[in-house]
């Protein structure tokens, strides 16, 4: 069995288009290694790979690289007698039947890889693709197979934001390579951690930074778990490669790594996202709205949705004034070069800006219509009442109290069920109802109350209906599993108070960390993940630490490796790699980026603004409240 290698060129690009170009380049290299002179049929049985191809290459471009007769997503013997090339993602850890490889006479297999030929990966390639049966025919098939790696990178979903889920859709295009496919892939926890680990090392390799100054890890689980073992492997590899060393001086060539387990804050992802990008995610639970890819959207996507209308209006007024000014210059200018510049540069640029603004105006109107149609504001008000109730028990310094006791909350749930229709047919509202119940459980853990609320849901929709849309079994059986990852935790309220989850807006100047209106992305809270990063870098961006936060180690499990000194070289600004185990929301990304770029990761004495390029975020995936409750 022959194996052809192809390499990926390291890149420091910071936008998704550049990332897609890299994927397209490495795919082209892989396709060029296909053996055989006749036309081939490309077999792609995994749904996520079809979507990735949709996002990076057109069918016409494929046919220019190799003679692709057609693309299929399912092997049908009588319909596929030609030469077949299999495209497969081994990172999903889903084996493929060796019978298909033999029956289809597959000679070329392109498999997705992280580019690092680890022993585990080579073993798994053999487990997937090598025929295990004895016999000359199988042996011949194994010897003739041509394995071609397609080197991948972590998927860049935003400037310096990467995810490693091997089954993620990065497509944002209408160019369809194939459709009508089925997919049975279902990554488990170990696969997700394996991909995150390999993604981190591939990213560090791409950055070409080989000295790690400091590593911090925080989790809300005191028991040894898979994430702890993941961290142990990371640290062991960092030390074995000589990347992590104890040092008292850091430099701009260093890398600081802050790893945060998602379980430190399971509450925030359940809340309604209020950023421009976040609102798209929220309304897409019931409607399909495509995310635009233009400069105006990318500039505004992390702002509070309520600010978008006025900002777009100001931009349109400014654009109108610019066009009027250019028109006046055009009529009075006697210079040929000035006229050429106006006609062929300034006017086309303004026309493109006009199109961008028009698309965003249309999108914002559509989002507002859907927001009101789906009654999302009612859910946000209930979330605020639940959170503000915490002021009465000392979580917030706010004097505002709420009457959101259990009886009031139950009546709100019943009212929402009736608002959605008494016959239980409005399934679109179900995820939001489940999110509210989980929020209540996290804040006011009471198993009897939760079971009663779940019974209301099951009685309204019916157990069979819930099972059809992949609602977890424990909900369908009306029993709330307290071991679920979204379960309440006794430390939750302590952590919220310690890290100022609900900022005291009346006394912002005296707050422990600079809030800088970071509560805009949700209904008045600052995500715990953002707070942990703020506190880690409070006194030094050179060498982060959480040791100065009194009693925090009694609430979270915190480990630190590397430089133990807070004194670094003056003026140094090492690259910061933020790793979130378990996924991150768009609105959390918004607060992290704003805090970092505005310098609010430091206290007032060291309030230094940073360039976004100095911070890189990597996680398993982009998550939201709906995909947390509908598993």
DSSP string, 345-367: IIHHHHHHHHHHHHHHHHHHHHH
- Percent of the chain having pLDDT more than 90? 24
**pLDDT tens per residue, range 56-69:** 888 888 887 777 78
Is the pLDDT assigned to residue 4 strictly greater than 60? no
Cβ–Cβ < 8 Å for 531, 513:
yes
**Strand 211-219 versus strand 68-72 pairing type:** unpaired
How far is residue 479's CA from residue 448's CA, in Å, rounded to a whole number? 10
Q: Determine the straight-line distance between the first and last CA of the chain, rounded to whole angstroms.
A: 40
Per-residue H/E/C for 551-572: CHHHCCEEEEEECCCCCCCCCC
Is the pLDDT assigned to residue 143 strictly greater than 70? no
Higher pLDDT, 98 or 512: 98
Q: What band does 604 get if pLDDT is binned at 50, 70 and 90?
A: very low
Cβ–Cβ < 8 Å for 282, 521:
no
How far is residue 461's CA from residue 534's CA, in Å, rounded to a whole number? 43
Residues 465-471: contacts with CB within 8 Å, 24+ apart? Answer: 465/424, 465/427, 466/430, 469/427, 469/430, 469/630, 470/630, 470/631, 471/430, 471/434, 471/629, 471/630
pLDDT value of residue 81: 57
Phi, psi of 613 (to 5 degrees): -70, -15
Is the pLDDT assigned to residue 355 strictly greater than 80? yes
Q: Which of 562, 535, 558, 285 is nearest to 429 (CA)?
A: 285
Evaluate the CA torsion angle 417, 420, 421, 425 in order and state its sign: negative
pLDDT value of residue 623: 92
Evaluate the CA torsion angle 259, 263, 264, 266 in order and state its sign: positive
Most confident range (mean pLDDT) of 85-94, 160-169, 186-195, 613-622 is 613-622
pTM: 0.81
How far is residue 268's CA from residue 274's CA, in Å, rounded to a whole number? 12
Q: Which of 624, 288, 462 is nearest to 471 (CA)?
A: 462
pLDDT value of residue 472: 60
Phi, psi of 563 (to 5 degrees): -60, 120
The residues near 570 (Cβ < 8 Å, ≥ 6 apart) are none
Is the pLDDT assigned to residue 137 strictly greater than 70? no
Higher pLDDT, 311 or 482: 311
pLDDT value of residue 179: 44
Q: What band does 285 get if pLDDT is binned at 50, 70 and 90?
A: low
Cβ–Cβ < 8 Å for 113, 152:
yes
Question: Which DSSP helix (H) or strand (E) runs through 536?
Answer: helix 528-536
How far is residue 195's CA from residue 201's CA, in Å, rounded to a whole number? 10
3-class SS shares of the chain: helix, strand, coil, % to 5: 50, 10, 40
pLDDT value of residue 441: 85
Evaluate the CA torsion angle 531, 536, 537, 541 in order and state its sign: negative
How far is residue 567's CA from residue 54's CA, in Å, rounded to a whole number? 49
Higher pLDDT, 244 or 348: 244
β partners of residue 85 = 42, 108
pLDDT value of residue 195: 87
Higher pLDDT, 106 or 243: 243
Taking each helix axis from N to C end, the angle separating 406-419 and 447-461, rounded to the nearest 10 degrees, works out to: 10
Mean pLDDT across the stretch 608-627?
81
Is the pLDDT assigned to residue 265 strictly greater than 90? yes
Lowest average pLDDT, out of 199-208, 394-403, 508-517, goes to: 394-403
> What is the spatial order of strands in the sheet that 615-619 belongs to?
155-158, 161-163, 615-619, 575-581, 254-261, 211-219, 557-562
Phi, psi of 42 (to 5 degrees): -95, 115
Lowest average pLDDT, out of 179-193, 287-301, 542-556, goes to: 179-193
Higher pLDDT, 569 or 287: 287
Cβ–Cβ < 8 Å for 394, 498:
no
Is the pLDDT assigned to residue 504 strictly greater than 70? no
Q: Which of 600, 18, 530, 565 is nearest to 254 (CA)?
A: 565
Beta-carbon count within 10 A of 276 CB: 27
Cβ–Cβ < 8 Å for 535, 215:
no
Is the pLDDT assigned to residue 183 strictly greater than 50? no
**pLDDT tens per residue, range 75-94:** 776 555 567 888 988 777 66
């Amino acid at each position: 069995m022959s194996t052809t290698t192809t390499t990926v060129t390291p890149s420091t690009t910071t936008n998704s288009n550049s990332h897609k170009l890299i994927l397209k380049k490495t795919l082209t290299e892989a396709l060029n290694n296909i053996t055989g002179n006749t036309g081939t049929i490309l077999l792609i049985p995994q749904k996520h790979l079809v979507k990735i191809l949709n996002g990076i290459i057109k069918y016409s471009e494929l046919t220019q690289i190799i003679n692709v007769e057609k693309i299929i997503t399912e092997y049908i013997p009588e319909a596929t007698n030609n030469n077949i090339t299999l495209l497969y993602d081994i990172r999903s850890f889903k084996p493929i039947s060796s019978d298909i490889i033999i029956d289809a006479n597959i000679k070329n297999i392109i498999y997705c890889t992280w580019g690092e030929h680890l022993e585990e990966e080579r073993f798994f390639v053999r487990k997937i693709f090598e025929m295990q049966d004895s016999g000359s025919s199988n042996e011949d098939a194994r010897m003739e197979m041509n394995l071609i790696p397609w080197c991948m990178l972590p998927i860049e979903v935003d400037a310096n934001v990467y995810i490693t889920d091997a089954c993620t859709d990065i497509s944002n295009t209408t160019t369809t390579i194939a459709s009508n496919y089925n997919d049975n892939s279902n990554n488990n926890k170990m696969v997700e951690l394996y991909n995150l680990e390999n993604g981190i090392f591939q990213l560090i390799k791409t950055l070409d930074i080989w000295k790690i100054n400091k590593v911090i890890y925080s989790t809300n689980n005191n028991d040894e778990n898979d994430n702890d073992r993941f961290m142990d492997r990371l640290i062991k590899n960092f030390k074995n490669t000589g990347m992590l060393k104890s040092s008292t001086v850091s430099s701009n060539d260093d890398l600081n790594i802050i790893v945060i387990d998602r379980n430190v804050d399971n509450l925030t992802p359940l809340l309604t996202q209020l950023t421009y990008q976040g609102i798209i995610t929220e309304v897409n639970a019931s409607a399909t709205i495509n995310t635009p890819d233009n400069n105006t959207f990318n500039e505004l996507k992390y702002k509070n949705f309520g600010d978008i209308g006025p900002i777009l209006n100001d931009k349109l007024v400014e654009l109108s004034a610019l066009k009027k000014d250019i028109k006046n210059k055009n009529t009075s200018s006697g210079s040929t070069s000035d006229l050429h510049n106006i006609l062929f540069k300034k006017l086309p640029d303004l026309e493109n800006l006009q199109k961008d603004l028009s698309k965003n105006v249309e999108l914002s109107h559509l989002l507002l219509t859907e927001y009101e149609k789906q009654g999302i504001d009612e859910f946000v008000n209930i979330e605020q009442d639940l959170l503000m109730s915490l002021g009465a028990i000392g979580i917030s310094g706010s004097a505002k109290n709420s009457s959101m006791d259990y009886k009031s909350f139950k009546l709100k749930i019943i009212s929402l069920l009736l608002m959605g229709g008494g016959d239980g047919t409005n399934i679109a509202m179900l995820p939001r109802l489940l999110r509210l119940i989980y929020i209540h459980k996290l804040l006011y853990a009471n198993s009897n109350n939760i079971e009663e609320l779940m019974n209301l849901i099951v009685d309204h929709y019916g157990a069979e209906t819930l099972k059809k849309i992949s609602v977890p079994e424990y909900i369908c059986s009306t029993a709330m599993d307290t071991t679920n990852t979204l379960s309440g935790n006794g430390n939750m309220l302590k952590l919220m108070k310690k890290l100022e989850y609900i900022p005291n807006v009346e006394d912002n100047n005296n707050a422990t960390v600079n809030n800088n209106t970071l509560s805009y992305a949700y209904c008045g809270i600052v995500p715990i993940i953002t707070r942990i990063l703020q506190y880690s870098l409070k006194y030094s961006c050179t060498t982060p630490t959480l040791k100065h936060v009194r009693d925090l180690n009694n609430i979270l499990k915190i480990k630190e490796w590397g430089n133990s000194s807070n004194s670094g070289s003056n003026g140094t600004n090492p690259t910061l790699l933020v790793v979130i185990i378990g996924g991150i929301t768009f609105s959390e990304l918004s607060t992290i980026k704003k805090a970092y770029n505005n310098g609010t990761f430091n206290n007032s004495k060291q309030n230094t603004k940073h360039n976004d390029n100095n911070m890189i975020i990597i996680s398993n995936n982009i998550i939201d409240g709906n995909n947390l409750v509908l598993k």
